[in-house]
Every structure is written in structure tokens, then in C-alpha cells.
A and B are shown apart, each in its own frame.
Chain A
Amino acid sequence: MTQLLAISFSLNGKTIAVDVPAHMLLIDLIRDRLGLKGTKRSCDMEVCGACTVLLDGEPISSCTTLAVDVDRREVTTIEGVTPPEGLSPIQEAFVLHGGLQCGFCTPGFIMAVTSLLKTTPHPTDAEIRHYLDGNLCRCTGYTKIFEAVKSLAGRQDAA
């Protein structure tokens, strides 16, 4: 018998109450049960950052987090930082600077940058590189992503 656990959490500001199997992963809850497909599964081993979501504002790998662990906490996905119309300042900066090509890693990068700028509104070059060290992009070569983040440093509306 699979044990079901009742959890209740905030997803992008909306309260969600669901019963989940103890072994369910957060990414499967978000993508398959709740239908938010912006979060991407790629390496499935906490290396690439494509599945990054924020848990109480901090980046985590949703591919290697149990759904039960978000009980009574706040989860933010790419859908939660995207305005109903247009793009957020961080997304806008990625577009302006060419910080994406195929776009598969982009939701993870946007989530990581969201968290970085919230805690460190004026990151140094080294801080940007260190923080984003765990997000992989196979298209851009990172320079454009770095320039996009650098352009956001100190902007009040970014975080």
C-alpha cells in the first residue's frame, strides 16, 4: 500500500492542498499533477539546475526534493515570477542580452537569478559566477547570461 500524505503549501502565492505518495518528487507534483510545465527536468541529479524552483525563496533542485518536504512552505516556479502580460525585468534582461538560445535552461537560470538579486542586489562579478556555478547552459557559453545578470545589478525592480 502506498502511503498518501496530505500536504498544503503555497505555490506561486496560491494555496494548494493535495495528497501525495511519500516517494513523489516535487518536480512530478509541479509538472504532472499541477500542470505547470515551465520547470524542466534534465540531469535528474542536482547538477544542471534546469529544475530549479524556490523553496521559501531559496533555490533547490525540484528533481531531488520530496513533495512532502514542501508541506506548509512556499514554492515559487517560473510561472510565479512571470507577469500576466509581457516579461519580468530579469526575463527582459535575458532577452535583451541574448542570454538564451534554445531556452531549456532559462527557467532555472531565472529562478536562481531571482534569488541571487533578492539576497544580493549588487552582486560582484565573482558573486554572480559563484552563485550561478550550478546552472548549466549548453548554448550561450554563459557570457551573455553573465552580461544579462550584470545589467540587473542594483535595479530596484529586478528582485
Chain B
Amino acid sequence: MLPSSFQFERPSTIADAVRAVGDFGDGMFYAGGTELLLALKMRVIRIDRLIDIKGIPGLDCIAVNGMNEIEIGARCTHRKISGDPVIREHVPALASLCAEVANIRVRNVGTIGGNLCFGEPHADPPTMLAALNARLVLEGSRGTREVHADDFVRSEMETVREPDELLRVIVFPRPAGPVTYRRFKHGERPSVNVAMAWSLNAGGSTIRSARVRVGALGSRPQPLPVVEGALQNVAVTEVRQAIESALPAALDQLEVNADRHGGADYKRHLAGVLLLRSADEAVTAGGSWLK
């Protein structure tokens, strides 16, 4: 299929891009197009103007900033993130996640910012970035604002981003402990994903705090506060028991869409399985994280 016709603009600054896109929703930012072009071809989205942001310098940088935070430019492709030395050193689980997105062709052009802005409920990055406590920096006609990854996706295919806000960069604290991500892929049925980030004490023997997010079950990534509470100040060697005892109550709190791929109870069960496997992985990785 062919998209219906549109005007194509190539601004070279963020301010020009924001002006060009307008705030009526008849213009859209465009980078990799791996999701947007599909929607345009199927004519489920119709736009008058496509604003190509690939000519704006600085949107594809990855660095550790002065606050010991990791910054990922929104226009970074999955391929770039998966091979980036900073990401591979500090958040190898994010590098692996990006190395498994869709296929090689999508990873070559698809961007992490586009992925987030689409709000696809089965996507991998939103769950992971919420577990990493990331903030998303948006540049719009009314200035700059930061949104926590937890608050960014509102519902299926819907985010809190205004039409004229450009996602510029994703920022999160450099992890202070192992980070894990496991999923049943979209296409493997049913799709479920679980991300977990631990902050360890100086000796690496105890979890100071943990962030756990489950994705693809409801309309957006969800926290597991009962598990997070159970992991606080727990010795790494005691993790499995702590999770196992907290799990039934924690999984009950999840909003789960039952569908033809699986009932709600089955999907909850799978989330628990992935979480326990992640915990085993994190315990093993905890040792290497200290070196």
C-alpha cells in the first residue's frame, strides 16, 4: 500500500521542527518510520505534513552526563544502542533488549524515541526504561518538560506527549546493581515482559531498593510494589524466597487483558515465572557487577 500524499520538511533545529509540526495534529515527527510508515500505509493515520528530524544534529548521542546519569538521544536506533560501548558497559540488559527488537532491518532504522512515542503496549523499551527510572525530556512550543517513563504511556498507542512536543533525550541514573529484562516476544503467545533493576549496598550483598515493572499485560507497563517492598534491604542470597512469598499478592494487583493468546491467570503466572528467572540471573550478575 501507498501512504496518502503529504508535505515533507527537513528542519535542522528542534525549534524549527516544533514550529513546522504545528499543534493541530496534522503534522508528525518522523525518524525511522518503522511504525509510522506502516500506519500511514494502512491509512490508520493520515497526516498533512511529515517532519523529518534526522537532519537535526545531536539527537543520536549516547553519553554519561555530569550527574552520573546515562543519556540516550531519542533518535538513536536500536542497532546503535545495542552496540554502544557506554550502554554495553553500564546497562548490558538494555543493549541485549535492543539487539532483539524485531529484526535486523527494523533495528537499523527504528529509533528508541519512535518506539516510546508510539505507545505500543507490547513494546520492550517502555518496561525497561520505567524499571531504570528514566525521564523523557520533551521539547515543545511551550518549552521543555520532563516526564517519568512510568507516566509517559497513557494507554494503548497513546502517550502524554503533545503533537508539537519532540522527545529529545532519555535520561536515567547509572544503574547501581544488576538490571535484567526477560520477555515472551510479541508473536510468541502470549507476550509478557518483565524488567528489574536493583540498587545494591556497597558490599554488594544486600539490595537497597529494587524497581520491578511488568509490561504487555495491560495497556502500559505496571510496577509490582509488593515485590519491590519485599526486596528492600534483603540479602541477595535470600532473594528467591522473598519474591516467592510476595508473588501471589503482587500478581493479583496487575491489570491484565485476557485475550485469545491467554487468560488473565495464565498471563499472571507467566509474569511470575519470568520474574523468578530474572532474579536468578540478577543474583549471578550481582557478583560480576561488583568487579
A residues sitting closer than 8 Å to B (CB atoms) are 2-3, 5, 21-25, 28, 44-47, 49, 52, 55, 58-61, 64-66, 68-69, 112, 115, 130-131, 133-135
Contact = CB atoms under 8 A, between A and B. Distances in A.
Contacts of B41: 25, 44-45, 64
5 contacts: A2-B5, A25-B3, A46-B106, A64-B38, A64-B41
Contacts of B99: 130
B5 A46 contact: no
Given A3-B7, A66-B37, A68-B8, A46 B1 contact: no
Contact of B38 (A28, A46, A131, A135): A46
Interface of B: 1-8, 33-34, 37-38, 40-41, 50, 52, 54, 99, 102-106, 108-109
Interface centre among B6, B41, B103, by most chain A C-beta atoms within 10 angstroms, is B103
Interface SS of chain A:
mixed
A134 B6 contact: no
Interface of B is mostly: mixed
Given A58-B108, A59-B108, A64-B37, A46 B6 contact: no
Given A22-B8, A46-B38, A60 B108 contact: yes
Contacts of A61: 105-106
B2 A133 contact: no
Given A22-B50, A64-B41, A49 B105 contact: yes
Nearest to A48: B103
A55 B105 CA distance: 10
B103 A49 contact: yes
Given A3-B7, A22-B8, A59-B108, A28 B103 contact: no
